[in-house]
Structure 1
């Protein structure tokens, strides 16, 4: 459907994006797209589809404004919730939340309001999600102690020690290096630097890590590949492999869960913020949670576990 303002020829075009390539063929006799609105954008299959459209429509002029409207899914792991968390760090983006309490009651009707109040009494979590738009979680989230915020240069300057961790990347898995600070008094972990890259050669990785760790502080890495640890050491890094024992994955992950707060800077460490906030337990065919921690999308989590091993051994909590 197209609405055309006849005096000027300006148009509002309504398009389905079941096939993004169809939208890429948009042509204009004059001018360019000024406003783009994605309605129910959580129903798209991810940012790849949206980027495909934007790369075509965001051409030809300045000041193009894009709106994304949606009802937040309950799971923080959902792609749109993670995308909005990232977008909120951009200076050219505004994130706005509204709910039924912000509009006149006459717009809604007595039946709608009565249903909302009843659900508020019967199931407060469902009410918070369905009527207030809160990301309430699905109950499968592993880390409920996250604080995603900017970690300022002033804060970092006051950190008296760095705890670097390294998870080696193999094949399609990324190499992940993290800089962290641990506040033992208040049981807070700060993650403020990341190197997260797929297909990074060892020589390039060493140079990149040296740039992030100029004082060559001790790096604790995965010991599964001792030859790689030796190679990094011979290249000048102060590094050692972490000694793994039976049950270490479960124990070290629960140690991170037990911290009062894990503060992650989503601007400096976007992939770490994404992995920690999106890490969830799997469910079986009946929908019941599986107690094992899944071994996927957890590369930054592994790097943090390795670096914090000395604290775990000492029993610091």
Structure 2
């Protein structure tokens, strides 16, 4: 018999506690919103009512003891159900008198998952720290011969490049749309097919000290990125953008703009890949007078041999377009040349990554066709990597942008004029300028 329980909870979570209508329950929000607490409470209440085995996951197993396990231990004590639920510290587990149990695992030890059977509920805490491959592996572990299956996920929002955003909201790369995150921020709870979405902030936790909320508010003054995540609970660009001047326009508008350029500089650049990396080939055009860079065509694929890629790109043989390619792959370049491609190695040198990136940043605008989803995915939200002291590394990024490498190579012998005018240029604005072709 389930014991009678009385517990005061935050009103914003009341409906969530007893709603088991969707397989996936995705809770996202700011710091201190109590989302993890209410997931833990919901899990205990369910396992008191039904005999189930639940699995609690974090990326690193050792982080459970001071987080999820400690939280569940606190809830058992607060509910006064120590006589029906036992908390075991080695190995970490909760066992219920009705036969239910809660197990704790980390994805840093994936072999430990193989021996677990009949898991009907999985809770992934801090799911943004788990890899997408880990998430899909856990879906395969969620199985039971008769009970409905559930997966609960909790996280603070991070960058829009994280798999949690791409899977549960939108993936520009795959042109996949599920839910506009702005809609969730306004409605607070949303149901889309088999997923229950829940958004929360510090205001939703009535038990949170005002001093803590004040600390979160102060973030706005010195760390706007963290303020967005911690205080507002919003996804967004996490870090400093590499190309703030990047914008997306319709393909027809981009082509029309290129046609209006007086003597446009057209180039093609290619970065090679195979298994982990991608073959990326970009066609671009430069408006030298305006200092605009247009990206209007892309090829982006992996796992193909050179002969398969050559077939995909045979139009370049017919058009005799010059392709500047990665100099680190001379054998590949030689192969393509033998097949009839006009392909040469781009110039690479010590520090070329940084110099090429600075060159691209000098364009006043980088305008990308909406027919180039992979370029948009990699460059629109591209941010710098920071070192352990928080300093930006100007030649390192949060992802490996293959399309950017292709652009580097395409423009390796082109120089964007420095946007700062010299004193003589200001005095003699009509002097003759040499056109770079």
Change (3 A) 1:128 1:92: closer
1:178/1:303 contact within 8 Å kept: yes
| Aligned counterparts of 1:283 and 1:83: Cα–Cα separation in 2 | 28
Of 254-263 and 179-188, more deviation after overlay is shown by 179-188
Change (3 A) 1:271 1:103: same
| Aligned counterparts of 1:265 and 1:40: Cα–Cα separation in 2 | 35
| Residue 410 (structure 2) pairs with residue 307 (structure 1) | yes
Judging by fraction of residues, say which structure has more strand: 2
TM-score relative to the length of structure 2: 0.51
Report what 1:42 is aligned to: 128
| Aligned counterparts of 2:370 and 2:180: Cα–Cα separation in 1 | 15
- Counterparts of residues 1-317 of structure 1 (less than 5 Å): 3=46, 14-17=54-57, 18=106, 21=113, 25-26=117-118, 40-44=126-130, 46-55=131-140, 69-73=154-158, 80=164, 87=171, 90-91=175-176, 93-97=178-182, 98=185, 110-111=210-211, 113-121=213-221, 124-134=224-234, 135=236, 137-139=238-240, 142-147=242-247, 152-155=250-253, 157-158=255-256, 159-160=258-259, 163-169=267-273, 173-184=277-288, 185=290, 187-190=292-295, 192-198=297-303, 200-210=304-314, 215-244=319-348, 247-263=351-367, 268-270=372-374, 273-274=377-378, 277-278=381-382, 280-281=384-385, 283=387, 288-290=391-393, 292-293=395-396, 297-312=400-415, 315=417
TM-score relative to the length of structure 1: 0.66
- Flag the structure with larger Rg: 2
Change (3 A) 1:226 1:278: same
Q: Measure how far apart 1:177 and its partner are.
A: 1.9
Q: Measure how far apart 1:55 and its partner are.
A: 4.5
2:356/2:412 contact within 8 Å kept: yes
**RMSD over equivalenced CA pairs, Å:** 4.8
2:251/2:296 contact within 8 Å kept: no
Q: Measure how far apart 1:117 and its partner are.
A: 3.8
Residue segments in structure 2 that go unaligned for 5+ positions in a row: 1-42, 58-105, 186-198, 420-437
2:284/2:296 contact within 8 Å kept: yes
Q: Measure how far apart 1:236 and its partner are.
A: 2.3
2:54/2:119 contact within 8 Å kept: no
| Aligned counterparts of 1:85 and 1:270: Cα–Cα separation in 2 | 17
| Aligned counterparts of 1:85 and 1:240: Cα–Cα separation in 2 | 41
Change (3 A) 1:125 1:56: closer
- CA displacement, residues 158-210 of structure 1 (integer Å, 9 cap, x when unaligned): 34475321123378654332233445435244364232314x32222211122
Change (3 A) 1:128 1:217: same
- CA displacement, residues 239-258 of structure 1 (integer Å, 9 cap, x when unaligned): 33324456543321111123
2:357/2:408 contact within 8 Å kept: yes
| Aligned counterparts of 1:12 and 1:255: Cα–Cα separation in 2 | 59
2:317/2:341 contact within 8 Å kept: no
Of 123-132 and 85-94, more deviation after overlay is shown by 85-94
Q: Measure how far apart 1:47 and its partner are.
A: 0.2
